[in-house]
Amino acid sequence: MSALARDPDPPPPVVSLTGVAKSFGAVRALRDAKLDLHAGEAHALVGENGAGKSTLIKVLAGVHRPDAGTVELDGRPVAFADTAAAIDAGIAVIYQEPALFGDLTVAENLFIGRQPKGRFGLIDRAVMNREAAALFARLGVHVDPDRPAKGLSIADQQLVEIAKALSRRARVLVMDEPTAALSGVEVERLFGVVRSLREDGAAVLFISHRFDEVEALCQRVTVMRDGAHVSTDLLADVTVEELVRRMVGRELGAMFPKQVVEPGPVVLEVEGLTREGLCRDVSFTVRAGEIVALAGLVGAGRSEVVQAVFGIEARDAGQVRVGGRGLPSGNPRAAMRAGVALVPEDRRGQGLLLDLSIMRNATITRRNRLSRFGFLVGGAERRAARDWSARLNVKYGRLQDPAGTLSGGNQQKVVLAKWLATDPKVLVVDEPTRGIDVGTKAEVHRLLSALAADGVAVLMVSSELLEVLGMADRVLVMREGRIAGELGRAEATEEAVMRLATGQEAAA
């Protein structure tokens, strides 16, 4: 990693967690976890999904009380009874998807429960809006205080949460995967805000799976594994390869274990696919044993194409054929009967029923096969769920636990298990490794490669160029809703893909 400013003797930590343990039933989420956060410093927290990062954050935020260990604030032990106590102590958490009240204005969300009052005890909206505008000005961004929160982008919602933390004089800012749903421009704006807060003396804890972001923002990094502290270092003193090894507890090996497969016959044919205003005249094929990637910038139309292929959205023109037989437009059931499976980009919103059990989610696509006389057989369902969980190495407490209790990487494995259980001919995966750790990414990559080796036609959408280059036999680059060009595996480079994605191929 690049050299960063060194401070071998930092001031005493603002917040210190030592020997923290937390269990949920038989599951030990934390054991001997520790973390020090210093004023004026951004500190990265990394680890595989399930390493205990989220639980540690919730202990710090007052959501959970530790079973053992200590939490100290300015050198004094504290025990947060709830989140309000942590907020009062100056600890603010910015989640990946903030929970604002959509029907309230931005300013009302900022000051909810503590609105400035005027004469007769009425809310003084003018003062509230003025104070909100001043907070955003201090952050160097513009968000209209008087507009409803509903409809704000994720990036602007996060800025509202940061402004709220600022209004409460927060000294510790915890950011949990804040960039997962942001564009490159939005990430840069967010980082500018965080840097200014850090320079003003805030202690920042940054949780991310993206090492380039960690390097761009942070000075120290702590690695967790299996609920415990592994190491804390200055970023200048450690390499990405060493961090990865510590995270997974073993040599990671190749991140992209692509097997060489001789492609078979064409399985999926897309011809002239059009969705007005989203994608136009898109044509391509995917052969058995082949991984074809749709690459391009955010908004290029990649997800819209795969949604139309699977039938989630109707197409306005064009044909989709599987094994030479046409699929009707806007009919996911027909696509499933033809052997098409879709792992969607939004696993929580579209891929899982979070309140249902892990077992039910993993087997929901096979309910007819697991039923007798119209009744679901519990033993068969458990065996099927246990079998697929073992095949994909899903880490869980009990199969009866809600799917929402799983880490992000394990949720993605359950979504994959659900669809692989259908024995698909075509597997469509939209952002298969977004928001999951490097160890689980490697497992997902191995799985996709093995499926292709078994003759499955894989169509993959990914915003990670290294993933595209590492896994794809062919790369179809989209720009403004159209296929801008096709690259074979041997000729696909970051530069070649970006030239096509940005319309600069003529200058190559």
pLDDT at residue 181, as a whole number: 65
pLDDT at residue 138, as a whole number: 82
- The answer to whether 15-100+170-248 and 253-339+424-508 have equal CATH topology is yes
What mean pLDDT is predicted for residues 12-36?
A: 90
pLDDT at residue 484, as a whole number: 94
Report d(CA 399, CA 417) in Å as an integer: 13
Residue 63 pLDDT class (50, 70, 90 cuts): very high
Q: Is the pLDDT of residue 55 over 80?
A: yes
pLDDT at residue 370, as a whole number: 47
Report d(CA 172, CA 164) in Å as an integer: 13
Strands (E) across 323-470 are located at 325-326, 340-343, 371-372, 375-376, 426-430, 457-461
Report d(CA 397, CA 357) in Å as an integer: 11
Residue 2 pLDDT class (50, 70, 90 cuts): very low
pLDDT at residue 467, as a whole number: 87
The per-residue pLDDT of the chain, averaged, comes to 85
For the stretch 91-144, pLDDT in tens is 988 876 677 888 899 999 888 888 888 777 788 889 999 999 998 888 888 889
- The residue among 482 and 376 whose pLDDT is bigger is 482
Strand partners, 274: 317
For the stretch 308-327, pLDDT in tens is 999 999 999 999 999 999 99
- The residue among 200 and 388 whose pLDDT is bigger is 200
- Which architecture, in CATH terms, is 253-339+424-508? 3-Layer(aba) Sandwich (3.40)
User: How would you class 184 by CB atoms within 10 Å of its CB: exposed for 0-12, middle for 13-18, buried for 19 or more?
Assistant: exposed
Going from N- to C-terminal start, the domains of the chain cover 15-100+170-248, 102-151, 253-339+424-508, 350-423
Report d(CA 301, CA 303) in Å as an integer: 6
Write the CA distances from 423 to 128, 306, 411, 454, integer angstroms: 57, 19, 20, 11
**Which CATH code of 3.40.50.300, 3.40.50.880, 3.30.930.10, 3.40.50.10860 fits the domain covering 15-100+170-248?**
3.40.50.300
pLDDT at residue 9, as a whole number: 61
pLDDT at residue 328, as a whole number: 96
Report d(CA 244, CA 506) in Å as an integer: 39
Q: Is the separation of the CB atoms in 363 and 385 below 8 Å?
A: yes
pLDDT at residue 376, as a whole number: 47
Q: Is the separation of the CB atoms in 485 and 498 below 8 Å?
A: no
For the stretch 354-384, pLDDT in tens is 788 888 777 777 655 545 545 544 566 677 7
For the stretch 467-478, pLDDT in tens is 899 899 999 999
For the stretch 196-251, pLDDT in tens is 889 889 999 999 878 888 999 999 999 998 889 999 999 999 988 888 788 876 55
Q: Is the separation of the CB atoms in 11 and 71 below 8 Å?
A: no
Residue 459 pLDDT class (50, 70, 90 cuts): very high
